[in-house]
Copies of this chain bind each other. A is one copy, B any other.
């Protein structure tokens, strides 16, 4: 794929959750159709998609049929089974590319990649069994966090060690999954950069957002971040370095810890990111449009911030606040169309305009 996709082309999206939903809407603005591939029935993205395939990632026939109807393939989550990617990449371009997925699917590989780039990360050690766990605790110390190498999200697959005595219990929580012990970072706050890179190498980063988590799930993102301009610039440059190193095409989220010694990268996500939702009401081109522009081979749009925003996730029973939120003119609502409210389930987000 060397020239920009023409309007009327179809973007294939792996995953039909809220990120797929908002990617699909952005695709429609640019005249593209979207085809969602999602194992579960009635996913949020189905309400705004041209077409939906309901099938497992093990269903090679369904994957093949899906690929043949689309012009390019992208995804809303990084944990796509390798076998599916192996098949799909023979049929259509996958953007962002396989290398970004390979790295971000495995915390150990991701950390080695970031360290190789000379970027600051927390001290870490590979943990596969009790012997390596003992060595890791000796090297990293406590407090520290044991995390599965793969399939972790929203704080899942993690166990904290307050002291070295918690080692055995933490290891047991991994259920035998390969893990990484991370040194605990004493940070003053967390920020993230959502950056986009086009097929021809143009990079555009949104203003860094300041993130607050609750129970391991993102609670709010505030822009502008209350962090010195120098550190914000550092964060943008570090994100750009990662994108360029990967010859990346699409939007990436990069999370940072802000410490007295500077920035430490927490993790990267090769996709649109919850902490970039503020861009829907803070910029002309939101993260979803930048991602679609990039994967379609288009130039990037304008990611400059025109408003100050506090994004808040509405999780589970937060939906009880809808009557108040729908009446508040400072609140731009973004609901995901999920039928069942469950504890911990991301149902919607609200972008509160704090300065227009």
Contacts and interface: CB of A to CB of B under 8 A. Distances in A.
B7 A24 contact: no
A299 to B, nearest CB: 4
Given A30-B335, A301-B329, A306-B306, A50 B47 contact: yes
A330 interface: yes
A90 B332 CA distance: 34
Nearest to A305: B356
Contacts of A313: none
A322 B7 contact: yes
A308 B176 CA distance: 58
A337 B285 CA distance: 19
A326 B285 CA distance: 12
Contacts of A335: 7, 28-31
The residue among A46, A48, A281, A334 with the most chain B CB atoms within 10 A of its own CB is A48
A332 B283 CA distance: 10
Contacts of A337: 7-8, 28, 31-33
A327 interface: yes
A293 to B, nearest CB: 8
Contacts of A299: 326-327
Contacts of A293: 326
Contact of A284 (B21, B48, B302, B332): B332
A4 B298 contact: no
A25 interface: yes
Given A24-B48, A25-B48, A322-B7, A332 B301 contact: yes
A28 B33 contact: no
B4 A326 contact: yes
A336 B29 CA distance: 7
A353 interface: yes
A311 to B, nearest CB: 13
A21 B329 CA distance: 24
What 5 A-B pairs come out closest when comparing CB atoms?
A31-B335, A302-B329, A306-B356, A299-B327, A47-B50
26 contacts: A4-B323, A7-B322, A7-B348, A8-B337, A8-B339, A21-B28, A25-B28, A25-B29, A28-B48, A28-B335, A28-B337, A30-B335, A31-B335, A31-B336, A33-B47, A46-B50, A47-B49, A48-B48, A48-B50, A281-B284, A284-B329, A284-B332, A285-B332, A293-B326, A299-B326, A300-B329
Interface of A: 4, 7-8, 21, 24-25, 28-34, 46-50, 281, 284-285, 293, 298-302, 304, 306-307, 319, 322-323, 326-327, 329-330, 332-337, 339, 348, 353, 356
Given A48-B48, A281-B284, 17 more contacts: A7-B335, A7-B337, A21-B28, A25-B25, A28-B335, A29-B333, A29-B334, A30-B333, A32-B337, A33-B47, A33-B337, A284-B332, A293-B326, A299-B327, A301-B329, A301-B332, A302-B353
